[in-house]
Amino acid sequence: MSFLASALDLLDRHPRRALALVAVGCVGLLAFGILYLQNVVGLEPCPMCIVQRYALILVAIVAALASVLSGRKGRNIAVALIGLLAVGGAFVAARQSFLQWYPPEILSCGRDFYGMIESFPLKRAIPMIFKGSGDCSAVDWTFLKMSIANWSFVCFTGIAALSALLLLRRQKD
């Protein structure tokens, strides 16, 4: 039996454990970003980083709730929501990665997320968050030649793939 087959078999038998692992993994990523990168290294998050954090928090909450749900229908809805949140987080991370690879010619130091919400109406603040700023295009930290935004994209894509796999494997039953 190959590794993939045994992993899929384990996923079929214990989907709740996979969801609990997603929740714990998200909390670990948040702890690393907030406790280490922000408080120890001293990196300040840009607006796109903050949006990714909120997406990760929501994924963690929904995954934790899905891991304790007893009904199959409710868990499937929660897994679908996890997938949608992960796709949204991956989109923001991909946009930030694009800004890092192809920085805008005019760099401006934009406001932080909270400053935007306090200063502008929500319908103006949300587009400003996704436009990015000089801060969003800066690469302040790398691991294995990948930026935080690149790693965030990989994690969100993995979570989305896992949720799709959970939904597809459950449909076969």
pLDDT of the residue at 81 = 92
CATH superfamily of 17-36+46-171: DsbB-like (1.20.1550.10)
**What is the helix (H) or strand (E) element at residue 142, kind and residue range?**
strand 142-143
pLDDT of the residue at 100 = 76
Q: Output the pTM of the full model.
A: 0.75
- Residue 7 CA, distance from chain mean position: 23
pLDDT of the residue at 109 = 44
pLDDT of the residue at 66 = 87
| CA–CA dist 75, 81 (Å, integer) | 10
Where the chain has pLDDT below 50, the residues are 108-110, 132-134, 173
Q: Are 163 and 80 in contact (CB under 8 A)?
A: yes
Nearest to 32 by CA among 157, 162, 151: 151
Q: Quick one: the chain helix, strand, coil %, rounded to 5?
A: 80, 0, 20
In single-letter form, the type of residue at position 156 comes to F
Q: What is the pLDDT of residues 113-156, one digit of tens each?
A: 556 667 777 777 767 665 544 466 666 755 677 687 888 898 89
